[in-house]
Amino acid sequence: MNAAEGLTVEAIAEVARTAGAAIMEVYEREYEIIEKADGSPVTTADHRAHDIIVEHLQALTPEILVVSEESKDIDATGRLHCAKVWLVDPLDGTKEFIRRNGEFTVNIGLAEQGRPILGVVYSPSSGVCYFAAQGEGAWRQQGSGSPEPIRVSAYDPARPRMVASRSHAGEAVSAFRDALAAASGCDPTIVSMGSALKVCVVAEGNADVYPRLAPTSEWDTCASHCVLTEAGGRLVDCQGTDLSYNKKNILNPWFVALADPDVDWLQFCPPQDS
C-alpha cells in the first residue's frame, strides 16, 4: 500500500516491529525507570525505540521531520512550516510496560497539512500490528500472518460497548459512562485497555466508543486516528471537529473515538471544566 511516492505503510510497519523487538529485550529484564519533568515515567526501552525509529525514518524520508515524544531538539517554530511531519510515540503506555501487562504499543503516524495520512500501531508483546494509509483501508496483522481488513461496527443501543483507559479514567469518563447508560437503558460493557490499542479496539469493531477526556499529545493519536478513519470511524473533539496535527500546541483537546458516526456520542460529554 502506497502512503506516498516511494513509501509504503508496510515499510513503516517493519520499522515499528524493529523498535518493538528492542522494547521486548528490555521488557524481559531489569531496567531503569526515570521520572520526566511532567511526572510521567520513561525507561531505557523508550529511548532505544526512539533511536531506532528516528534512524529508520530519516533514512526512508530524509525530507520529513520526525517529532517523537522523546525528541529533545525539535524547533517548534520551524515545525509549523512543515507540510508533512512524522509523529511518533516510541513506547505508548509506559505505565503498562512497567506494570508488565503487555498493553503498550509503538505508534508511528504521518500527518500532512494537519491530517493523518498513514498510521502504524504495533503491539510488541502480542505481535499484532494495526496499520492504515489514506484511501487504502485499515488492516490488522498477527505476527507474520496475512493482513486482514478491519472495519468499525454499527451501534446496537441494547448492548453499548465503551473503552476506558486502564491508567487515565477519571470523573469525566465516569460521567460519560453514566450518561450513555441512562440513554441506552443499560450499563455499557467496559473494555479496559492501555495505549493506542484503545482506539484500535473501536476500529476493529470490538467497541463502540472511546472517550478520552484527559490530556494527550499528537504523537499519542496520529497513528491510531488514521487507522480508525480508514476503518470507517472518526476521532473528534467534543465539538465534533476531527483532531488536527502539527499544531502550535502539540496537546490534543478532549476527544471521542467513535465507530458509528450516525450516533450523537457527543451528547454524553460533560463540560470540560466540570
Summarised one tens digit per residue, pLDDT across range 96-105 is 888 888 899 9
Let me know if residue 71 belongs to a domain.
Answer: yes
Let me know if residue 170 belongs to a domain.
Answer: yes
Average pLDDT for residues 22-32, to the nearest whole number?
84
Domain boundary among 83, 118, 150: 150
Residue 42 structural domain = 2-150
Let me know if residue 156 belongs to a domain.
Answer: no
Let me know if residue 273 belongs to a domain.
Answer: no
Let me know if residue 259 belongs to a domain.
Answer: yes
Domain boundary among 100, 124, 150: 150
CA distances for 220 relative to 21, 147, 197, 217, angstroms: 20, 23, 11, 5
Average pLDDT for residues 104-110, to the nearest whole number?
97
Q: Any idea of the CA torsion for 123, 175, 243, 159, to the nearest 10 degrees?
A: 60
User: What residues have CB less than 8 Å from 15, skipping those under 6 apart?
Assistant: 52, 53, 56, 57, 60, 108, 120
pLDDT digits (tens, 9 = 90+) for 115-146: 999 999 999 999 999 999 999 999 999 999 99
Let me know if residue 274 belongs to a domain.
Answer: no
Q: Give the whole-number percent of the chain exceeding pLDDT 90.
A: 77
Using a cut of 0.75, tell me whether the model's pTM lies above it: yes
Asked if pLDDT for residue 168 goes beyond 60, the answer is yes
pLDDT at 274: 47
- Do residue 133 and residue 242 come from a single domain? no
Looking at every residue in the chain, the average pLDDT score rounds to: 92
pLDDT grade, residue 195 (50/70/90)? Answer: confident
- Do residue 139 and residue 181 come from a single domain? no
Domain boundary among 150, 176, 196: 150
pLDDT at 28: 83
pLDDT grade, residue 35 (50/70/90)? Answer: low
Average pLDDT for residues 61-68, to the nearest whole number?
96
- Do residue 62 and residue 175 come from a single domain? no
Q: Which CATH number belongs to the domain containing residue 41 in this structure? A: 3.30.540.10
94-98: long-range contacts (C-beta < 8 A, 24 or more apart)? 94/40, 94/41, 94/42, 94/43, 94/46, 95/41, 95/167, 95/194, 96/166, 96/167, 96/194, 96/195, 97/23, 97/27, 97/43, 97/45, 98/33, 98/41, 98/43
pLDDT at 56: 98
- Do residue 22 and residue 103 come from a single domain? yes
pLDDT digits (tens, 9 = 90+) for 216-274: 999 999 999 999 999 999 999 999 999 999 999 999 999 999 999 999 999 999 998 64
Q: How many structural domains are present in the chain?
A: 2
Let me know if residue 155 belongs to a domain.
Answer: no
CB atoms closer than 10 angstroms to residue 189:
12
Asked if pLDDT for residue 58 goes beyond 80, the answer is yes
- Do residue 60 and residue 167 come from a single domain? no
Residue type, 129: C
Q: Give the whole-number percent of the chain exceeding pLDDT 70.
A: 92
pLDDT grade, residue 1 (50/70/90)? Answer: low
pLDDT greater at residue 47 or residue 225: 225
The conformational region for residue 220 under phi > 0 = left, psi -120 to 50 = alpha, else beta, is alpha
CB atoms closer than 10 angstroms to residue 144:
6
pLDDT at 165: 78
- Do residue 130 and residue 17 come from a single domain? yes
Let me know if residue 60 belongs to a domain.
Answer: yes
The two beta strands, 65-68 and 84-92, are parallel
